[in-house]
Amino acid sequence: MARRSTPSGKSSDMLPLGEVPAENITDIDVASEMETSFLEYAYSVIYSRALPDARDGLKPVQRRILYMMSDMGLRPDRGHVKSARVVGEVMGKLHPHGDAAIYDAMVRMAQDFALRLPLIDGHGNFGSLDDGPAAPRYTEARMAAAALALTDDLDEDVVDFVPNYDNQIMQPEVLPAAFPNLLVNGASGIAVGMATNMAPHNLAEVVSAAQLVISNPDTTLEEVMELVPGPDLPSGGRIVGLDGIRDAYRTGRGSFRTRATVAVEQLTARRTGLVVTELPYMVGPEKVIEKIKDAVGSKKLQGISDVIDLTDRNHGLRLVIELKNGFNPHAVLEQLYRYTPLEDSFGINNVALVDGQPQTLGLLPLLRVYAEHRISVVRRRTAFRLGKRKDRLHLVEGLLVAIMDIDEVIQIIRTSDEAAAARTRLMAVYDLTEIQANYILELRLRQLTKYSLIELEKEQDELRREIAELEAILGSDTLLRQLVSGELGEIAAKYGTPRRTLLLDAEDQAPAAARALAAANNAKDGEKKASGKATALALEIADEPCWAILTASGNIARTANADALAEGGPRVRHDVFRSVVRTTARGELGAVTSTGRMVRLQAVDLPVLAPAAGLPNLAGGVPAKDFVSLGKGESLVALVPLDTVVALGTEQGIVKRLSPEYPLNREDWEAITLKPGDRIIGAAPASDEDSLVFISEQAQLLHYPASSVRPQGRTAGGMAGMRLGDGDKALHFGVVASGDESAVVVTIAGSRDALPGTAPGTAKITPFSEYPAKGRATGGVRAHRYLKGEDVLLVAWAGHGPAKASSTAGVARSLPTEPGRRDGSGVPLSQPVEEVGPSFV
């Protein structure tokens, strides 16, 4: 706006009353005025608000908050004070830009999910990723321990001080910063025409790199990147793809993708889920849940039934995403990465102030700027301490001169008319300086003792030693750099923590199980494999052949494919197979219980055994009781297919072949009508060419063709399968496939009076072909001759060999390789055996 003035240059307000002023309107160029004003505004925003200083990594408001809290004595070993008090002190003395901006900056410095190394210890609600903080009148704060490393030694002339906004208080231009705060905690800000966005890093890694730069100023970026491989985000997670990080370290600009840490877990026996324990940087669980629900509602995401947030203070973040049955969890996870913030992008833009000018800096320039700053701080601190010690030595030397001739000194003082005269005479007689003379005049009588003389001499020697050390540091650039590097190492040892973020190259981004599945799909698709195109994971589980397994310890599971049991090999986990059924991933199978019930199961509901060296790991199964509701005393006997004839055998020697005519509208039904006290001991599919085998406790074995037992309906009670002697009962019932030349019979004898699992007994393994077939409902032939002390079979089994055994603890035991003795008795075992099953792995 133009100014109005009188011809004499005086303001119109000074004219006599009634006199009309003459107008003097000065024309200005609006474009020039706007350019000048905008530049001033832009510079103010860039320098005074938005961009951090490359030396201490702090914006002005952050630096003023820490300096004021240090000046107020809000150290970690003292109590918290109201945040409003800190905000008021900062605003009134150093930062006149409003309390909201100050409190927001203060809150961020206290949030452990925003900074890798928080600088303020907050007490109260300082917000979360989804919610803002409480008002400053409700929260309390004090300096964190790490903040002391930024403000230490401020009183030793290590940095320059500048006036505050009203020239009444001095404030530091930059903090001493005992660690590279800009790289450790990162920064973000939007200025005029530029912005900064820097990722947090691991303190120990950054300090190691800074030490390398300090010790070797000519180090290369590649050498530094070996120590700092990538950012280390406060929330952990995974960084996928390192090319963008390398670009950012080289040029100051780049980007990388962050992913949540997700594990596939069996939530219940029938339900699989994705459990999120770490999220990308600055992404909250509520935002993720909202995006998932929106994507499910818009049909972008499939296979998700529910999302539950189980996050608490004791266990940390735990976001459970429940999946529908029949969906591939890894394929669903890929969709989640695509449509939700479980995968996010972080753009690096390393803009910071260097000598008051904004610059885009790579990793090596950032480290060099910090190293130069820290070396300057330590040099100025050393010079300050050297001056203080020289001043003290000067006083001590003068005091020693006075004490050595204390009587004469006292006489000079007593005979002087005033202090000035005494000072002049002391300076003349003992050749003292004015400072030394004044110090002597201010002495107290108690300092004139003999003990004080000894202390002064000791102090003199200590001061001379310290002065020599400080002068050596100032005179040697090598010693100075070693001192700076050593102090950095102490900071890293004190405040350093292990890396939280996992760094992955682009080719390693998929989970191991998903990569194995994709590799298997590629192997089946020769054309795609030849062309180098990776097969995408199918969203729904393919209806491929697999094996359903029931183990001796009662666990149930399925393999990922039908090849898992095709080849033999070493066992990767304890336990033995009790029942193995070939089915498909979306097929149905039946579970036969000891009371004669059959329960329909969906193969897709069964947990998949994780492969270990190509073989299924039985640790992945879950208890069968989670799939089948069992009554008191009822147990699961076997798994059977629903599309073929199944043979059942009972403890009282009853046999039945069940026709595959099952109700379609029921999930369980009776497979056989049992007599009182009877129970099912075995079930397996049996064609007319197969053999049915009974083995009793009294070591009688009977087998006959399955064709001699006609198939019956569900309600039939079966027919006589084996004639049992008085007090005898069937111990094992099984089916031996026709033409199976490797089939064996395993019998383990022991004492009926021995406690279960205490006596190993004797084992006998006999080829099945050595036993002659007999007619149905007969007593069979002798299978095992008892030795002294043996009167019963503890374990019996017949089927495809070789066989494996399991102890009471579920540990796999190898059976003796040699057959029984010539007299028909067994070979002594070293340890008890409770179960025997086929050795498919």
d(CA 187, CA 115) in angstroms, rounded, equals 9
- The DSSP annotation for 658-723 comes to E-S---TT-SEEES--PPTT--EEEEEE--TTSEEEEEETTSEEEEEEGGGS-EE-TT---EE---
Are residues 802 and 808 in contact, defined by beta-carbon separation less than 8 angstroms?
Answer: no
Q: ω into residue 498 within 30 of 0, thus cis?
A: no
Main-chain phi, psi angles of 796, to 5 degrees? -145, 145
Whether the CA torsion 438, 441, 444, 449 is positive or negative: it is positive
- Residues, the chain: 841
Are residues 599 and 639 in contact, defined by beta-carbon separation less than 8 angstroms?
Answer: no
Q: Which two tokens stand for residue 609?
A: 């055994």
DSSP tag of 356: T
Are residues 178 and 488 in contact, defined by beta-carbon separation less than 8 angstroms?
Answer: yes
d(CA 270, CA 743) in angstroms, rounded, equals 35
d(CA 2, CA 24) in angstroms, rounded, equals 8
Are residues 555 and 624 in contact, defined by beta-carbon separation less than 8 angstroms?
Answer: yes
**Strand 668-670 with 140-143, pairing:** unpaired
Active site residue 138: yes
Nearest CA to 489 out of 780, 149, 72, 761 is that of 149
**Given the residues 41, 67, 103, 138, the one annotated as active site:** 138
Using alpha carbons only, how large is the chain's radius of gyration in Å? 43
d(CA 393, CA 379) in angstroms, rounded, equals 21
Are residues 391 and 472 in contact, defined by beta-carbon separation less than 8 angstroms?
Answer: no
d(CA 791, CA 397) in angstroms, rounded, equals 105
Residue type, 735: V
Q: How far is CA 677 from CA 652, 673, 674, 733, in A?
A: 9, 12, 8, 17
Q: Which two tokens stand for residue 172?
A: 């530091």
Residue type, 693: V
Q: Which residues are catalytic?
A: 138
